[in-house]
Amino acid sequence: MRLSSLLWTNSKPSRAEPLAIRDIILSLPKWRKAAWTSCRPSRLTARRANIALPVISRAARVCRSCGRDTRISEKGCSKRSSRSKGSNCESRSGDAVTPIFCVSVKILGDLMIRVIIGIIAAVTTLLSGGIGVSNAAPVRVGVPSPSASYFPVIVAWKKGFYTQDSLQPEFIMMRPSIVPAALTNGEIQYTTATGTAAGAILRGFPFKIVAYFSTRLMDSLVVKPQIKSVADLRGKIVGVDAPGASTHVLTTLILRKYHLDPEKDAKVLAIGDEDVRLQHLKQGQIDAAMLGPQGVVLARRAGLKTLLDVADELDLPFVGLATATSMIERQRTDLKKFLMATVRGIRYSHDPRNRNEMIALLASWLRLDQETAEHTYNVFIKGVSKDGTLSRAGMESLISERKRQVKFTGDVPLDRVFDFNVVEEINRELGK
């Protein structure tokens, strides 16, 4: 089978050079003129909804050529060619239960995001036959990056709660900026980028937030040793993931809280994911960065310091699950099955009896040592939602912040953004 036949729905580019599918190793075509550079996405605005060339890997981890952390599953990634000729991130067969996909953002003319679904569906069909999940219905979940913030979903996956209901989750890494288009067109059914979804709802997109995992922010502001206060960041460079990403929003809020204009008093620079930000910070190329629990431990070992924990400064919920309203209205049974398994994952993840197992799972999934895994779990457990919902105050604070982000001035009723009816129904059925 030629992979090129799976790629193109309209005209087929003449410069494509398909690679063969060798055993269970899979990659997309490489391009003579470096149409893509690595598995680390470049910037893509919401207005430019053209497709990025996906880089698909079955068990992606860390791209050595670009430093992107794609550790959703068990095995690593290997470099196939030099960056100057285009890097090809691929992974080899491992113990992964489900194919994992990394969507790399590079605009390719008039290709639309809908191409992704055709590729993923075909690849899943090719890969699923040998791993015993061919009868499970695929459910595509868009995630910005590997993070303990949506750990309950990973717990439900690893414990088999989804497969018990004949569901097979596929985690697709994508920039928050393309989430609205992906949800609208049905390329993904759910996203953990709930902040992005909330902002899209205020702009008229037909989405709802249907569950919440982390009610407390998990990031910390990590700085060079000589930085003593937020005021010392005046004139300094602060690294974030991408414009509009949570690290960008939180950095902006912290600077403003301490009377610094993020556009004038400090240089907020979009440089990439946590591994990239940490590397730049260790090399002295930036002065500060928002890092998650894993990054905090690694930064401390490198002699960097945590200036503040964002949760102590800002009262905002962190991560949940959003979907299109059509899923609620026309596919409620499927939604309930997915949320039932997810709620079971939430309950299992914060049960004190499962603490050691959960730390071990975090260590295995994110490839962490014991100290880092314990710290990450401790941060996670402080803010985990016990029932998959948010308090009224949490909902109001999220709406308020997103209104400011998108410059929305009207009133926003809670039920325009949130719909926890299915989760509340599940909690009643499962009991306390």
* pLDDT tens digits for range 273-306: 888 999 999 999 999 999 999 999 999 999 999 9
How much is the pLDDT for 406?
86
Residue 6: pLDDT above 80? Answer: no
- What number is the average pLDDT over the span 106-125? 48
How much is the pLDDT for 177?
84
Q: Say which range, 114-128, 229-243, 255-269, has the weakest mean pLDDT.
A: 114-128
- What number is the average pLDDT over the span 86-93? 34
* pLDDT tens digits for range 309-337: 999 998 889 899 999 999 999 999 999 99
Nearest one of 106, 107, 13, 116 to 56, comparing CA atoms: 116
Long-range contacts of 414-419 (CB under 8 A, 24+ apart): 416/201, 417/198, 417/201, 417/202, 417/208, 417/209, 418/208, 418/209, 418/210, 418/390, 419/208, 419/209, 419/210, 419/328
What crossing angle do the helices spanning 370-383 and 355-366 adopt, rounded to 10°? 120
- Distance from the Cα of residue 118 to its chain's centroid: 21
Q: Letter for the amino acid at 213?
A: F
Rounded distance, CA 404 to CA 407, Å?
A: 5
What residue ranges do the domains of the chain occupy? 1-134, 136-216+317-432, 220-312
Residue 82: pLDDT above 60? Answer: no
In the chain, % of residues over pLDDT 70: 69
Q: Letter for the amino acid at 106?
A: K
What fold, for 220-312? Answer: D-Maltodextrin-Binding Protein; domain 2 (3.40.190)
- The CATH number of the domain covering residues in 136-216+317-432: 3.40.190.10
How much is the pLDDT for 134?
52
* pLDDT tens digits for range 22-46: 222 233 333 322 232 233 333 333 3
| pTM confidence score | 0.68
Q: What is the rounded average pLDDT for all residues in the chain? A: 75
Residue 244: pLDDT above 80? Answer: no
Rounded distance, CA 47 to CA 24, Å?
A: 36
DSSP one-letter string for 332-356: HHHHHHHHHHHHHHHHHHH-GGGHH
Q: Letter for the amino acid at 395?
A: M
* The two three-digit tokens of residue 242, written as one number: 């991408």
Asked if 260 and 233 touch (Cβ cutoff 8 Å), the reply is: yes
Q: Which residues contact 35 (CB under 8 A, 6 or more apart)?
A: 15, 53, 86, 106, 108
Number of H helices, E strands in the chain: 15, 18
How much is the pLDDT for 198?
93
Q: Say which range, 78-82, 244-248, 303-307, 358-362, has the weakest mean pLDDT.
A: 78-82
Q: DSSP H helical segments within 79-227, as ranges? A: 114-128, 151-158, 179-185, 194-202
Rounded distance, CA 222 to CA 309, Å?
A: 9
Question: What is the radius of gyration, based on Cα positions, of the chain?
Answer: 21
How much is the pLDDT for 91?
32
